[in-house]
Amino acid sequence: MGGSNRPGPVIKLAAVIYSEKPAQVSQVAALQHESPEPGNGASPFELANESAYLHWRAEKLRLRASLPATRVFELGDGLLDTGVRADLAEQLDAFGFFVWQSSAELSETGLLNFNQQFGLHRIDANIGAGEHAVTCLQVVAADDKRSRYIPYSNRGLNWHTDGYYNAPQQRIRAFCLYCVNPAAEGGDSFLFDQELLYILLRDQNPELIAALMAADALSIPANEAQGEVIREVEQGPVFSAGLTGKRLHMRYSTRPKNIIWKQQPELLQALELIKQILNEHEGRVELKLQRKQGVLTNNVLHGRTAFSDGEIPRLMYRARYYDEIDFSALAHTGAVS
């Protein structure tokens, strides 16, 4: 398991705050192939597209070996310039997320305006979200209807992707977590890029990928409370190509309850290997967001350690989107009021 790699004081743009261990860089380098020409716009995540996969894979691992996972980008309130945009795009391609710090504390609408710069507009108004569909993650009272859900407690959250229980048209393609106030102790995030996980599994055995991409691989029972159906039964794949075929979407949770896995040997083997990788591989990144810091992700695998509040309780803003992060959308924004 990787060590705790927490963002330190912010140094603008390309300054390295965290360096991956040489063992990890060596491990990644050992996996690299010569980079062939890419396929004709084909998704690298479809098993039939071997040349597209090998090209994408080589570039992905090259970026991971050359960039620090948790460098912090100091971003102002205006539109991002071309140089910053290119750096953020590389960071996202390498790790599936980037960490940033705002110059001033953002309100809920300020966070939405920031996210719009990355093509994120279709927000997931989940049952715990507020007026602007932003969720305030904090410990709530026992009589609050949200108290039955772990994110609104101080308990730890195990590995999962957001919205794995959502309907296909409401898949969570991206989310942003922004720190208003950190916990006094604990509350660290841990992340793992699902695209790196895909590489490790596909290199082990492509049949594992085929099992994870089956349309009936993972089923979620209906969510019912006091006789009311909050969400219907949902069934779908674990891995799927994203909206454009260029990003990988994943539905996953390690929780044993309310999860129905298809009883197929290759799928069960893949699930055991996923657990092993998440617990032991150095692709795991740990960080603790400080005030005014945020992480924007392709809905990577993630979790949270348990925490204790101080005088000022832990508060995180979370915004989840049906859109994929799109850097070409930076010039097309409209303010949320």
Cβ atoms of 328 and 82 within 8 Å: the answer is: no
Give the total residue count for the chain. Answer: 337
Residue 281 lies inside a defined structural domain of this protein: yes
7 falls within a domain: no
Pick from 103, 96, 236: nearest CA to 175: 96
CA distance 319 to 99: 15
Q: What is the pLDDT of residue 334?
A: 56
- Decide if 210 contacts 204 (C-beta within 8 A): no
**Angle, alpha carbons 126-132-136 (nearest 5°):** 65
Are 245 and 56 in contact, with CB atoms under 8 Å apart?
no
Query: Does residue 259 belong to any structural domain of this protein?
Result: yes
> What per-residue string of b and e applies to 236-263 under the rule 16 or more CB within 10 Å gives b?
bbbbbbbeebebbbbbbbbeeeeeeebe
In the prediction, which pLDDT does 336 show? 63
DSSP H/E element including 278: helix 265-280
Residue 5 within a domain = no
Domain membership of residue 4 (yes or no) is no
Q: Establish if 9 belongs to a structural domain.
A: no
Question: Is 293 within 8 Å of 179 (Cβ atoms)?
Answer: yes
In a domain, 154, yes or no: yes
Q: Which residues of the chain have pLDDT under 50?
A: 1-40, 331
pLDDT of residue 180: 97
Asked, for residue 253, whether it belongs to a domain, the answer is yes
Number of domains in the chain: 1
Domain interval for residue 36? 22-329
For residue 147, give the CATH number of its domain: 3.60.130.10
- Residues 6 or more apart in contact with residue 297 via CB below 8 angstroms: 96, 97, 174, 175, 176, 177, 191
* pLDDT per residue as tens digits for the range 54-71: 999 999 999 999 999 999
